[in-house]
Amino acid sequence: MAIVFPDGTQEFPGRLIKATNIYDTATRVSTTTYNSTRVDALDFWYNINLAHTGSFTKIGSSTESFITMLGHVNTWVDGNSHGFLAWIGTSTSATEYVHMGEEAYTLGNPRQSAACQRLNCSFTALGAGTHTFRCAAGRGDTSGTRGARQFNPESDKSATDCPNMSTRSTIIALELAL
């Protein structure tokens, strides 16, 4: 998989300023409560308990550097996942966002509920300071969802031919010079 940087090329645009592992766990976190939280005025609702969240401190200004998030996150959603959003901000507001396009139906997922999302997205308008990154599987309507982060495919999805262990999610923030 090639990395495409904000300038549209695959050439490394500058030097690495800082790398921070902001999320790395295999601990299963679940919720049985159906929940629907909207991010800003975007057409995106998600279960707040199923968001993968981590913070990082950016050194450079928006004209000196940008942030690229790399990683892999796993979410099982009962209520069907129809999208996957990555954003900088609070649980209900986004300074910058990237719709990752994860849609279980079009990916041919027979259970239409697992979001095993690779992360490769950049945020270019962030100033220096501490920022919170969030990503979550969600929907384009207010129907609630429930499920688990770092889900166990055997127990959460009743897939008896899968390994009986939790999946792992990792997110790394790279600050790169412009």
Fold of 16-171: Jelly Rolls (2.60.120)
* Residues 95, 123: Cα–Cα separation, whole Å: 9
Are 36 and 45 in contact, with CB atoms under 8 Å apart?
A: yes
Query: What are the tens digits of pLDDT across the range 106-137?
Result: 554 545 566 678 889 999 999 999 999 999 98
| Domain boundary assignment for the chain | 16-171
β-partners of residue 74 are 116
pTM: 0.84
pLDDT score for 78: 77
pLDDT score for 108: 46
**101 alpha-carbon distance from chain centroid:** 11
- CA dihedral over 116, 101, 7, 20, signed as positive or negative: negative
Query: What are the tens digits of pLDDT across the range 136-178?
Result: 988 888 888 888 888 887 777 666 777 888 889 999 999 999 8
Query: What are the tens digits of pLDDT across the range 32-46?
Result: 888 889 998 899 999
Coil, strand or helix at 107 = coil
Beta strand extents in 49-177 (DSSP E only): 52-58, 65-78, 83-89, 94-99, 114-123, 129-139, 145-149, 169-177
pLDDT reading at 13 higher than 60: no
Query: What are the tens digits of pLDDT across the range 62-99?
Result: 999 999 999 999 888 877 778 889 999 998 888 899 98
Q: If you average pLDDT over residues 1-6, what whole number do you get?
A: 61
Categorize the per-residue pLDDT at 105 as very low, low, confident or very high, splitting at 50, 70 and 90: low
Rounded to 5°, the CA angle 148-149-153 comes to 70
